[in-house]
Amino acid sequence: MRKGIYQFTSESVSEGHPDKVSDRISDAIVDTYIGHEPEARVAVETLCTTNRIVLAGEVRGPASVTRDLIEDVARKAVKEIGYEQDGFHWMNASVENHIHEQSRDIAIGVDAKGNKDEGAGDQGIMFGYACDETEALMPAPIHFSHNILKSLAEARHSGAEPHLGPDAKSQVTLEYHDGKPVRATKVVVSTQHGESLTQEEVREIVRPHVMNVLPNGWMCAEEDFYVNPTGRFVIGGPDGDAGLTGRKIIVDTYGGAAPHGGGAFSGKDPTKVDRSAAYAARYLAKNVVAAGLSQRCLIQLSYAIGVAEPLSLFVETHGTNEVNEDKLAKTLRELVDLRPRGIREHLGLNRPIYARTAAYGHFGRSPDVDGGFSWERTDLVEALKQAFNA
């Protein structure tokens, strides 16, 4: 753990950010396929720009998921976010569908057959991380950045702040003393707004949402509180900037506080280890910290396409461990089957639970009763404590 005084910054973007609109549409399509057929294969990308939505990718699923249904799903996702603007409207935007059947070459490598277990959907490295900076066991800067935007979105959806638009960004810089966050030194929030609002009016709308999220006494100085620094943010969303699926991978994970393997999550069914193994790695890391075996835990997993067993599992606790890291790695592999099928079954991932992950982070959320965010459970804690007599 780093000693001394230093600062660290993380950002978040709202559900109305162009890239997040694309993520939401892609994940809504994943949910649709899995809702019709739990074993469906989906890898869908979305491009959003001024009144245009373009879908591409490959799928293997039931005929009941028609092209008309996919278009309806895309429009509903945009409607739920709240886009009814001249430059981007859920009803008026054109939807181009270029989704096609999954490659047979990929299917051969991934599918279980005879004595061959289901293989990973691609090669790659995945990271999971947890720390004791917040109750959610997430790094504090990304945790607060997400919650500021969630609070603003809730006010917009409820009608409490009708002049706010869907597009928004936040950025929180925290000061750390010997690895522990103690206060915010800078806060930046940019939010789309109606023509009638001034910059100062937007500032005062945003202020209580920041104050309520940060711990008491943590608010930065007034001159370090930046709201809509350009002075105006009326044109936003895909009308202001194009959006693509998978461009906010650091926002989706740990805000830069931990490594990222490079693979995006949204638009992919859980046979893709980019998604499922990253969830498993977070699940393992969170349980290690929740069990009190370390204050920080980083897990790396690696896979080869078509191969079921992970090639490696690496554990790093940054010097905060109370137990031997080699034994910890061995114990984690004994507790959870980290083959793709094993992950999906252990976490119950073949369910339509993905659209809700598309904004405000895939991690640090509360597990849902229907199985959403199952990777945030801490049900390995007792087994880990017993394994180490903790």
309 labeled binding residue = no
330 labeled binding residue = no
CA–CA gap between residue 306 and residue 317 (Å, rounded): 30
341 labeled binding residue = no
Do the Cβ atoms of 245 and 267 come closer than 8 Å? yes
127 labeled binding residue = no
CA–CA gap between residue 91 and residue 70 (Å, rounded): 14
Contacts of residue 142, Cβ cutoff 8 Å, sequence gap at least 6? 10, 11, 12, 251, 254, 255, 256, 257, 361, 364
Among residues 356, 336, 355, 357, the alpha carbon closest in space to that of 347 is found at 336
What letter would DSSP give residue 223? Answer: G
Each residue of 187-221: b (16+ CB within 10 Å) or e? Answer: bbbbbbbeeebeeeebeebbbebbeebbeeebbbe
23 labeled binding residue = no
248 labeled binding residue = yes
Do the Cβ atoms of 343 and 280 come closer than 8 Å? yes
Tokens for 196? 């009638």
Just list the catalytic residues: 17, 19-20, 45, 58, 169, 233, 241-242, 247-248, 268, 272, 274
153 labeled binding residue = no
272 labeled binding residue = yes
24 labeled binding residue = no
Burial class (CB in 10 A: 0-12, 13-18, 19+), 98: exposed
168 labeled binding residue = yes
Contacts of residue 150, Cβ cutoff 8 Å, sequence gap at least 6? 360
102 labeled binding residue = yes
150 labeled binding residue = no
- Residue 331: phi, psi to the nearest 5? -65, -40
192 labeled binding residue = no
11 labeled binding residue = no
* Residues annotated within a binding site: 17, 19, 45, 58, 102, 167-169, 232-233, 241, 247-248, 264, 268, 272
* Residues annotated within a binding site for Mg(2+): 19
* Residues annotated within a binding site for ATP: 17, 167-169, 232-233, 241, 247-248, 264, 268
* Residues annotated within a binding site for L-methionine: 58, 102, 241, 272
